[in-house]
């Protein structure tokens, strides 16, 4: 049968065919930079995926699961073995008792866990508090779920917009929020606060004191914490990760989000999870079920094996990342970047004032220069802020790469001439 109606272009003009929500955000800048890295043959220090192998035992477990015909849908909220392993590790790492039957939802990555949680708990008119700079997904997550974002700034070393001139490795990079500013962001409409510790892009690891301050506000205003802890094991200089769910009064109001991507270097497997009290989990599970049905069944089996790796695996993970961090820091400093030294996660935010305007008017122009002329892909700082001007003097480097990759990036960056 032939189509006999008016030309499709006419219909498109008559009626808005895309949603107002989808029109309010762009495609991911981070993932766009990966495409540009491929186009220009640049070293990709933009997107946070490792260029090295994942653990052999975990890959073997995935192969074995496929050979054993674990090919059909897992239980929608997650394979039992994986949920049991998550509950066991929550107890081991955070001292939290979690019921794998009622309090865990396995999702397609922590990305899906976050949007499922947002859709499960927010209503139009609700507000969510988001620290900025923020991992770029949280903005669209808020729009898609209909919640109004309230941004609260993290500022380096208290107030200043510049990093400290750093020589050592742990003497700066402390991004702090102003307690009064945070308090002012809470009101009767506040439904949740989104936390990310260790933090992307700043490398901040929230302290107990800070988390207790946030806890007090959550309790006072009856607000939930949605906490993205996917860099839990990537810590430096003695920094300790603390889950806000462990603080008095927070267990019942926290959704803790984590996943395999970063800890086991398998970002493409898309296995993550949300841990929350049963009353929240049942809402999250419903959203998750109708969004994606479930994460890949054989990879969930491998997830259970990953979560059974010995303590030495996590120690080596952190030690290897420390080496990578220090390698990139040295290269960046030698080229004239001022660096915010991360205490966790695998990114270095930099201040690019020394390169402007010689290599571009702002972060976007400088990023284009870097990818096309210098051969290094990074993420413009503006993609981490609600107001792009706030990030116009910053770019982010990812160092989840082999040392030779980082060394090659440093060689290329050395061609830049900072005054
Ligand atoms: C803070 C943060 N959350 C979530 C993600 C994505 O995690 P997943 O691969 O589990 O969806 C990233 C990836 O860079 C991230 O930095």
d(CA 258, CA 228): 6
- Separation of CA 359 and ligand 1 centre (Å): 30
- Supply the pTM of this predicted model: 0.93
Q: From the alpha carbon of 345, which atom of ligand 1 is closest?
A: 16
Instruction: Please give the distance of CA 238 from its chain centroid, rounded to a whole number.
Output: 21
CA distances from 314 to 199, 278, 354 (A): 18, 29, 37
What lies within 8 Å, CB to CB, of 60 at 6+ separation is: none
- Separation of CA 110 and ligand 1 centre (Å): 6
CATH 3.40.640.10 residue ranges for the chain: 72-306
What lies within 8 Å, CB to CB, of 394 at 6+ separation is: 133, 349, 350, 351, 352, 363, 380, 381, 384
Pick the closest to residue 261 from 384, 77, 111, 402 (CA basis): 111
135 lines ligand 1 (CB under 6 A): yes
Q: From the alpha carbon of 267, which atom of ligand 1 is closest?
A: 9
CB of 315 closer than 8 Å to CB of 234:
no
Q: What is the sign of the dihedral through the CA atoms of 119, 123, 125 and 128? A: negative
- Separation of CA 347 and ligand 1 centre (Å): 12
Q: Residue 418 has what pLDDT? A: 65
Which residue is associated with the tokens 């397609």?
108
Pocket of ligand 1, candidates 82, 86, 111, 271: which has the most ligand atoms within 8 Å of its Cβ, to mutate? Answer: 111
Neighbouring C-beta atoms of residue 127, cutoff 10 Å: 21
110 lines ligand 1 (CB under 6 A): yes
CA atoms within 13 A on the CB side of 232: 21
Which letter does DSSP use for residue 326 in this model?
H
301 lines ligand 1 (CB under 6 A): no
243 lines ligand 1 (CB under 6 A): no
272 lines ligand 1 (CB under 6 A): yes
Gyration radius of the chain over CA positions: 22
Pick the closest to residue 396 from 29, 34, 46, 27 (CA basis): 46
Tokens at residue 254, please? 């926290």
What lies within 8 Å, CB to CB, of 10 at 6+ separation is: none
Q: Residue 160 has what pLDDT? A: 38
d(CA 92, CA 102): 19
Q: Residue 174 has what pLDDT? A: 85
Tokens at residue 123, please? 């209503």
Q: Residue 169 has what pLDDT? A: 36
Q: Residue 173 has what pLDDT? A: 56
The class level of CATH for 72-306 reads alpha beta
Q: Residue 161 has what pLDDT? A: 42
Neighbouring C-beta atoms of residue 29, cutoff 10 Å: 16
CB of 141 closer than 8 Å to CB of 126:
no
d(CA 369, CA 376): 9
Neighbouring C-beta atoms of residue 372, cutoff 10 Å: 13
103 lines ligand 1 (CB under 6 A): no
- Separation of CA 68 and ligand 1 centre (Å): 30
Peptide bond into 119 cis (omega under 30): no
Which residue is associated with the tokens 């790796």?
309
Assigned CATH topology for domain 12-54+312-413: 3.90.1150
CA dihedral 343, 346, 349, 350 (to 10 degrees): 100
Which residue is associated with the tokens 């109708």?
290
- Separation of CA 300 and ligand 1 centre (Å): 17
Tokens at residue 267, please? 């970002």
CA distances from 11 to 7, 275, 334, 379 (A): 7, 45, 57, 38
48 lines ligand 1 (CB under 6 A): yes
Neighbouring C-beta atoms of residue 69, cutoff 10 Å: 9
pLDDT averaged per 10 residues, the chain (length 419): 70 79 87 90 93 97 98 97 98 96 98 98 96 94 94 76 42 81 98 98 97 98 98 97 98 98 98 98 98 97 98 98 98 95 97 93 95 96 95 97 97 85
d(CA 49, CA 53): 11
Tokens at residue 239, please? 């920094």
CA distances from 258 to 89, 165, 383 (A): 12, 33, 23
- Separation of CA 186 and ligand 1 centre (Å): 26
Q: Residue 292 has what pLDDT? A: 97
Q: What is the sign of the dihedral through the CA atoms of 150, 156, 162 and 163? A: negative
| Burial class of residue 320 (count of CB atoms within 10 Å of its CB; 0-12, 13-18, 19+) | middle
Tell me the H-state helices in 41-159: 56-67, 80-94, 109-121, 138-145
- Separation of CA 251 and ligand 1 centre (Å): 23
Tens digit of pLDDT for each residue in 271-324? Answer: 999 999 999 999 999 999 999 999 999 999 999 999 999 999 999 999 999 999
- Separation of CA 48 and ligand 1 centre (Å): 8
CATH 3.90.1150.10 residue ranges for the chain: 12-54+312-413
DSSP per residue, 187-218: -TTEEEEEEESS-TTT-----HHHHHHHHHHH
Q: From the alpha carbon of 112, which atom of ligand 1 is closest?
A: 11
109 lines ligand 1 (CB under 6 A): yes
């Amino acid at each position: 049968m032939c189509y006999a109606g008016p030309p499709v272009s006419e219909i498109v003009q008559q009626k808005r065919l895309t949603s107002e929500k989808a029109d309010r955000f762009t495609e991911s800048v981070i993932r766009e930079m990966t495409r540009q890295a491929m186009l220009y043959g640049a070293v990709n220090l933009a997107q946070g995926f490792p260029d090295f192998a994942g653990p052999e035992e975990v890959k073997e477990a995935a192969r074995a699961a496929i050979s054993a015909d674990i090919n059909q849908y897992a239980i929608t909220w997650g394979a039992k073995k994986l949920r049991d392993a998550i509950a066991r590790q929550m107890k081991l790492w955070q001292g939290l008792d979690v019921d794998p039957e009622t309090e865990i939802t396995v999702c397609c990555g922590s990305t899906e866990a976050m949007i499922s949680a947002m859709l499960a708990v927010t209503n139009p008119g609700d507000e969510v508090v988001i620290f900025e700079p923020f991992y770029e997904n949280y903005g669209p997550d808020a729009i898609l779920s209909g919640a109004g974002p309230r941004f609260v700034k993290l500022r380096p070393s208290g107030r200043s917009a510049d990093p400290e001139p750093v020589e050592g490795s742990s003497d700066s990079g402390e991004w702090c929020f102003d307690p009064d500013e945070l308090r002012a962001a809470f009101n009767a409409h506040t439904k949740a606060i989104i936390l990310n510790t260790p933090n992307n892009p700043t490398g901040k690891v929230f302290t107990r004191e800070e988390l207790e301050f946030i806890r007090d506000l959550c309790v006072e205003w009856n607000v939930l914490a949605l906490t993205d802890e996917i860099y839990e094991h990537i810590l430096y200089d003695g920094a300790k990760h603390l889950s806000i769910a462990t603080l008095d009064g927070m267990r019942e109001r926290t959704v803790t989000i984590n996943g395999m991507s970063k800890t086991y270097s398998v970002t493409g497997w898309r296995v993550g999870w949300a841990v929350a009290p049963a009353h929240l989990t049942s809402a999250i599970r419903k959203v998750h079920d109708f969004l994606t049905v479930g994460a890949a069944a054989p990879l969930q089996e491998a997830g259970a094996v990953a979560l059974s790796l010995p303590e030495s695996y996590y120690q080596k993970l952190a030690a290897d990342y420390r080496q990578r961090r220090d390698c990139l820091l040295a290269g960046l400093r030698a080229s004239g970047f001022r660096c915010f030294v991360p205490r966790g996660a695998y990114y270095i935010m930099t201040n690019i004032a020394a390169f402007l305007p010689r290599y571009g008017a702002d972060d976007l122009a400088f990023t284009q220069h870097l990818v096309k002329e210098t051969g290094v892909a990074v993420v413009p700082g503006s993609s981490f802020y609600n107001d792009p001007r706030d990030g116009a003097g910053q770019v982010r480097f990812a160092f989840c790469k082999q040392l030779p990759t980082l060394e090659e990036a440093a060689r290329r960056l050395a061609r830049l001439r900072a005054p």
